[in-house]
Amino acid sequence: MEEWFSNEDITNQIIDFGGTVVIAIITLIIGFWIAGFVGRMVNKNMQKRGVDDTVRPFLVKLIKVALKVMVLISVAGVFGIKTASFIAVLGAATFALGLALQGTLGHFASGVLLLVFKPFKVGDAVEIQGELGVVKEITVFNTIIHTFDNQKIILPNGIVTSGAITNISELGTLRVEWSIGIGYEDDIDKARSIILKLINENEMVLKDEPIDCFLAELADSSVNFKVRCWTKTEDKWAVYFDIMEKVKKNFDAEGVSFPFPQMDIHMDKAE
């Protein structure tokens, strides 16, 4: 029976295959080392730029995985596998996965934007999509806030970035406003003097910012003052309620009235 392969052919094939395996292993080792090196350099660069600690490890890992996939494709090419077909299949699978996870990936992309551009941070008081509270956690998929009546709200990041974001804490100060009405028969100057005295005596009011107390409206049953001052963000409600209570007590003590709607009814006697 005729031999299909001579011993010399088999030896050459083994040597060639062994050489291919060695080249593939070297490519794999060097490629993975380069992927790790690039990942470390990217991580250091992100740290210098102040990229958030939550998103930085994920982005570094994503870059390293992408580089390792490229290395594996190169190794497949060394063994004679048609990488064009492999890449096409991988691309189709990635596209299908992207369509299946479209909403989730959208929330992820929004989370990355929030962590990179930082429109708010943990501890900030914010209003997002009509929800008012304090930010407790920011992840790549969700933002968690606690409302001021102690409810936990989990907002998908896609919703967070799709509307207006009001950051109440970032600037550090807020304006407090009141609408205070007195009767038509009361002394306007006296009422204004009482209000301004109370505001200036409050230690939480910022005295280097404007303090306003002006006549804003001649309403049906009252003369209304618009009162405004500035305070630190965390002191807003303390100032608001303190001034409201003291205005009531001082108006009562000074004889300034708080009007309320009244209606006069005239009855004609039937003939």
Q: What is the pLDDT of residue 215?
A: 92
Segments making up each domain of the chain, as ranges: 8-100, 119-167, 173-254
Answer whether residue 194 shows pLDDT above 70: yes
Residues 116, 51: Cα–Cα separation, whole Å: 6
Quote the distance between the C-alpha of residue 111 and its chain's center. Answer: 8
pLDDT tens, position by position, 22-80: 777 887 788 888 888 888 888 888 777 766 665 667 677 777 777 777 777 777 776 66
Class in CATH terms, 119-167? mainly beta
pLDDT tens, position by position, 103-144: 556 667 777 777 777 888 888 888 888 888 888 888 778 888
Residues 169, 19: Cα–Cα separation, whole Å: 65
* Range 8-100: architecture per CATH: Orthogonal Bundle (1.10)
Residues 190, 255: Cα–Cα separation, whole Å: 10
In sequence order, which residues have a C-beta less than 8 Å from that of residue 52 and are 6 or more positions away? 115, 116, 118, 138
Number of Cα atoms under 13 Å in the Cβ half of residue 176: 24
C-beta neighbour count of 57 within 10 angstroms: 11
Question: What are the tokens at 5?
Answer: 């392969």
Answer whether residue 1 shows pLDDT above 50: no
Give the model's confidence band at 178: pLDDT under 50 very low, under 70 low, under 90 confident, else very high. very high
Residues 226, 221: Cα–Cα separation, whole Å: 16
Fold of 173-254: Alpha-Beta Plaits (3.30.70)
Q: Which helix (H) or strand (E) holds 230?
A: strand 223-232
Pair 163, 190: CB distance under 8 Å? no
> Which pTM does this prediction carry?
0.55
DSSP, collapsed to helix, strand or coil, labels residue 53 as: coil
In sequence order, which residues have a C-beta less than 8 Å from that of residue 134 and are 6 or more positions away? 123, 124, 125, 126, 145, 146, 148
- Edge-first strand listing for the sheet containing 142-147: 152-156, 142-147, 131-138, 125-128, 165-167
Question: What are the tokens at 90?
Answer: 């991988």
Q: What is the mean pLDDT of residues 224-241?
A: 92
Query: Of 118, 223, 231, whose CA–CA distance to 181 is shortest?
Result: 223
User: What percent of the chain is predicted at pLDDT more than 70?
Assistant: 74
Better pLDDT: 139 or 95: 139
Number of Cα atoms under 13 Å in the Cβ half of residue 89: 6
Q: What is the pLDDT of residue 101?
A: 47
C-beta neighbour count of 135 within 10 angstroms: 20
Q: Which residue has the tokens 């409600």?
A: 237
